[in-house]
Structure 1
Amino acid sequence: MTLAPTAPAADRTTRAGPRISALVVARNEEARLPACLASLAEADEIVVVLDRSTDDSAGIARARGARVLEGGWELEGDRRNAGIAACAGDWILEVDADEQVPPELWAEIRRVVAGSAHAFHRIRIDNYVGDRLILHGWGGSFGTTLKPILFRQGAKRWRGQRVHPGLDWTGTEGERITAHGIRHALDRDISDMLRRLDRYSSARAADLLAEGRIGTLPGNLRRCVSRILRCYVGRKGYREGGWGLLIALCAGLFPLFAHLKARLEPERHRPAPRP
């Protein structure tokens, strides 16, 4: 892997208070990266981790004055930890290439880190499917409306998994930032959402096989039903009409599909031994 030095950014000035590094982890995101990086201009530093990218993402990031870390990581947790280690700020704001941070949210972030005695803070996420903002029903590892993405250096470590890796924290959680949210272009349309379900469940199947715990069909059927009910009823997906039902179905089918892929097609999803 290679880490490019920081390039000068004309629109970034020295600010009082704790330094904030904005971290973006991406792969072949040249279409979405410009808008994401433009929304991070308020950061004291931008670090972009590119995992096996073959498009112009690196050039786009460097033109924005970002430090670029290029390499290849099998596990999502490993690539995100590499990005965290490359950040030099007192605080890190970790976003994805399909997310944008509006100016009013930056003001809240600066206010919070200036007086925080805690290790991390959750920030509201506004999820869009195409141009439609969907507020309710997200959950079950298929979407969230609140993420712990603002944290002190050294407070957060991702576990070694391929999809939705677990987190280990050092320190306490502070106030939640909910007055304004990050704009998350989660899916382009229904077909894009279903392709995401396929990708996620395949990656999860590989994790299950690597961990040697694929579970049972009855157990995963129960998880499927409970997740559907939790998203559609408990998290008020019904308020979104058919969209809420679709999200609930995807959230429920995610663990069931992962189990079935691991059980029925292990040769397709079993990961190669790590060196």
Structure 2
Amino acid sequence: MPKLSALIVARNEEARLPACLAAVAFADEVVVVLDRTTDASAAIARAAGARVLEGGWELEGARRNAGIAACTGDWILEVDADEVVEPALAAEVREVIAASPHGWHTVRVDNYIGERLVRHGWAGSFGTSAVPRLFRRGAKRWREQRVHPGLDWQGSEGPRLSRGALAHYVDRDISDMLRRLDRYSSAKAADLLASGQIGTLRANLRRVLTRGWKSYVSRKGYREGAWGVLLAFCTAAFPLLAYLKARLEPERHRPPALHPAAGAATSAAMPSPEPPR
């Protein structure tokens, strides 16, 4: 049977981490990456038997790649601390890695706002209903970006897993959702400034319309009632807010220069991983 690593990336998630860890106990190895964490997350993870990597990373892509590199399994299931692997999905993951010839598989995501399951309207920039999280070691690499980094793949994509889902407790309430919009748009503004191409006002106004339509109509957000309106608003506003922050407040959002040591993990945080099997 191939060895499975569960990879959890977190920052100050002591309240949600126990449930996430309990749900990946079926994996052969659990690796937890903690980015600039100041709460009890490290102690919680170690008590659950996880291997812990602590450090500070400016870029989300670099942080996730560090976690992937620390895993020793033949396959990796990547999970965020605010997600819980449902039992049906866990069982299917085991079945798939035993027989799949592919490089990666997509899994379904059930997104919750508070206690409300919102199935429709997620349109990528502000949330998604399916993610490529199960992959062979060496098949997946994140690009060096702060928010929604792109992916580079090796191998072929396999069928989507159909049983169970990642239960994603994405926002605690509407205020938390709006705070996330603020964080995401600030990080995207930094990426725009780092690229030297922030775009134009006209193009981003068009994106408000196209992304709002995609969320509310194409992705059937209208089926969620007022929640779908809220989700379409946040999805549409995200690129425009990022552009306006980059254009109007570049001094507040321009990223610091990255030094060679930036993003490195603390040397004593984790033993050297065993050689690949």
When normalised by structure 1's length, the TM-score is: 0.93
- The aligned amino acid for 1:121 is H
In structure 2, the partner of 1:200 is: 184
RMSD: 0.6
How many positions carry a matched residue from both structures?
259
8 Å CA contact 2:74, 2:136 repeated in 1: yes
The C-alpha deviation readout for 1:187-208, integer Å capped at 9, x for no partner, is: 0111100000000000000000
In structure 2, the partner of 1:175 is: 159
- SS in structure 2 opposite 1:273? coil
Deviation at residue 248 of structure 1 after TM alignment: 0.8
8 Å CA contact 1:130, 1:188 repeated in 2: yes
Q: Which runs of 4+ in 1 moved over 2 A?
A: none
In structure 1, the partner of 2:4 is: 20
- The aligned amino acid for 1:83 is G
8 Å CA contact 2:57, 2:63 repeated in 1: yes
**Whole-angstrom CA distance in 1 between matches of 2:124 and 2:209:** 11
**Whole-angstrom CA distance in 1 between matches of 2:118 and 2:172:** 13
In structure 2, the partner of 1:57 is: 41
| Match 1:147 to one of 106, 121, 131 | 131
- SS in structure 1 opposite 2:227? helix
- The aligned amino acid for 1:31 is A
Q: Which runs of 5+ in 2 are unaligned?
A: 260-277
State how 1:1-275 maps to structure 2 within 5 Å: 17-275=1-259
**Whole-angstrom CA distance in 1 between matches of 2:238 and 2:22:** 33
The C-alpha deviation readout for 1:54-77, integer Å capped at 9, x for no partner, is: 111000000000000000000000
**Whole-angstrom CA distance in 1 between matches of 2:129 and 2:162:** 10
**Whole-angstrom CA distance in 2 between matches of 1:58 and 1:64:** 10
Deviation at residue 140 of structure 1 after TM alignment: 3.7
In structure 2, the partner of 1:9 is: none
**Whole-angstrom CA distance in 2 between matches of 1:216 and 1:178:** 41
**Whole-angstrom CA distance in 2 between matches of 1:274 and 1:206:** 13
The C-alpha deviation readout for 1:28-52, integer Å capped at 9, x for no partner, is: 1101000100101100000000001
Deviation at residue 178 of structure 1 after TM alignment: 2.5
8 Å CA contact 2:88, 2:163 repeated in 1: no
**Whole-angstrom CA distance in 2 between matches of 1:29 and 1:77:** 19
Q: Which runs of 5+ in 1 are unaligned?
A: 1-16
- SS in structure 2 opposite 1:193? helix
- SS in structure 2 opposite 1:113? helix
